[in-house]
Structure 1
Amino acid sequence: MDRNFARALSLVLKHEGGWSDHPADPGGATMKGVTLANFRRYVKPNATKDDLRKITNEQGGPVYRRFYWDAVHGAELPDGVDYAVFDFAVNSEPGRAVKYLQGVVGVAEDGRIGPATLAAVRAKPHAAVIHDLCGRRMAFLRGLKTSGTFGKGWSSRVAGVRSEALKMAAPNTGEGTTSKPSIPKPFEPVSSSPVTTPAEPAKGLAYFLQLISKSIAALFSRKEH
């Protein structure tokens, strides 16, 4: 069930952008986040850099799905967590993204998602997993030798991933939202305790009735005399 693949891919592509062939980038020539090596592996075995430059979304989609989304079992991860892990995988390879996820949820960091990893991820608050994963990812990126060149862009990217991932998680879990205090309906008693009538008004009424009775009695008494 790939309910979030299209949405996650559109978000990834916003960060990946277009053509890149920076000499400091170990990934080499890249277009829309697809490296030349993966383009040759999944789309066109004899592809050149010019072929990669012309890659279409239809060609790139299967690469993202098979090499990244399926590699991290995106379809089986909770909403929001799937996107956070997927983007991490695209940026830093699937094996590393999975190991960091496993470190977050406290299972063996073998780089392969299985039943134990999935159970541990699902058992932990999804917002907490997203926050912790993005924090560890950023710490890893800051430690790279190329952080001086790409650090600002990476920081912006991870911040964006964190924000969008939390939005994806919130509708189904209520996480990342602030609960509002309940407001009593008009004329609805706030307390559930029984409402008692104060004693003083009853005493006051009796007092005035007594005064009226005494006044009437005094009036009749004067007439008789």
Structure 2
Amino acid sequence: MDKMLTGKVAVITGSGQGIGKTCAETFLKNGAKVCLSDVVVDRLQATYEEFKLQYGAENVHQIPCDVTDKTQIEDLFKGTVDTFGAIDIVFNNAGVGIYEDWESVIQINQIGVIRCTYLALEYMKKSSIGPGGIIINMASFAGLCSSPLDPIYACSKFGVVGFTLSHALHADVVDSGVRMAVLCPTFVDTKMIDDDNMKYFIEKIGVIKKEKLAEVVLEMVKDETNNGKCMVVTAQFHYYKDDFPKVEDVFLSTKQS
């Protein structure tokens, strides 16, 4: 296999299981060094031990992190640089689905992503101490359309889409050497879809295999033109969504009616 990520260092939040774990393994197979992170310490440790045995202790590291805790996020990025020397790839994957505490959904899915992005930029941008690279933020197709199943989840993901597409065009990012992109999959084969209320929609839409999604994430890492882009993934296909309204679309016309 052509190890296209040889020499690169990745940080993946929520990588003790599910999408994050699968993406971490895909990166490792492609030559990257990966810092695993998860809020559930036992789950993180088990994945770390598995990958350390398979890919070598020199290629994998672990740092527990609650993405709602700014200090723990700082420890995650600093610890990765201390261990591997730099950060080239950040996948802000940690998140929750339907949850009784709606404020926690916003804190984890939206504010956690924003915090991680800001801190990652400090370690990655070329004007600071970094080599440049890419930050991929996990959103959802539910962040692009109405989602009656869980309005708060949709709200959190709409926020991630808006933040990523907007911040990617900010002057501090455009000239930083860091690209930012957002990932919007439909249903993925994780524990998050184990909800009876989702069955009707799953039957109509289908389910994405984690391995397929990981390959799309790898494609996003390789694509050096995707700053400020939104990748939509379904069970059948994937594409960059490019039909978002632009600021220019609402500029006041100078013409008299």
Q: TM-score, normalised by structure 1?
A: 0.30
Identify, as 1 or 2, the structure richer in strand: 2
Q: TM-score, normalised by structure 2?
A: 0.28
**Higher Cα radius of gyration:** 1
Identify, as 1 or 2, the structure richer in helix: 1
Give the number of the structure with larger relative contact order, counting CA–CA contacts within 8 Å between residues 6 or more apart. Answer: 2
